[in-house]
Amino acid sequence: MQLLNDICNETGLTIDDARIVLMDVRPDWETTDSVTDGEASLIRQTTTAALHQASETYDSTEIQPVADMPIEKQEQMIDNASQVLGHQMILSVQRRIEMLNAVDQLVNQVVLNNREVSQQQLAASIAQQDNATKAELMRTIDTLSCLVNTPVEVAQVPDDSDFQNAIATVQKKMQR
């Protein structure tokens, strides 16, 4: 006897699915926690055959008969297993699709993140160019404002005292 839970862990079936495989073979199929060696062998074989058939890496899906069980019961178990495993394969395909969707979502997130980073880099580059342009314009404005604010030197119109001082200076030089 083998524990049904061990077989389920080995094959990937749920307890309920493994019990359904035993449905028309054992009267206690709904509550059993153990299986005979022959039942365990058939469950393993049908699961392996179904998985190999689904992955297309296995040429033969032939299941070997078990010696300690009537052929009718074996055929019934295989039939039950194929129905359960068909459901399992659908679930497996759904899980694969979910995983692919998750990968696609991750790829999309990476693309969006890369796009956001690129936009941030572009915005930083544009801001840097704007700052350089602003600095250049400020230098130009400063240069122009210096020209506008520069007082023009106008010759001072001499007044009478300037003339008198100039004459006095010349007279002093002559007296020497």
Element (H, E) at 175: helix 160-175
Reported as a pLDDT band with limits 50, 70 and 90, residue 93 is: low
- Summarize pLDDT for 17-56 with one digit per residue, the tens: 889 888 888 899 889 999 999 899 888 888 887 766 655 5
Q: What is the mean pLDDT of residues 135-150?
A: 71
Torsions phi, psi for 170 (to 5 deg): -65, -40
DSSP secondary structure string, 37-56? HHHHHHHHHHHHHHHHHHHT
Residue 133 has pLDDT above 60, yes or no: yes
Percent of the chain beyond pLDDT 70? 77
Rounded average pLDDT over 126-142: 84
- Hey, where are the domains in the chain? 2-96
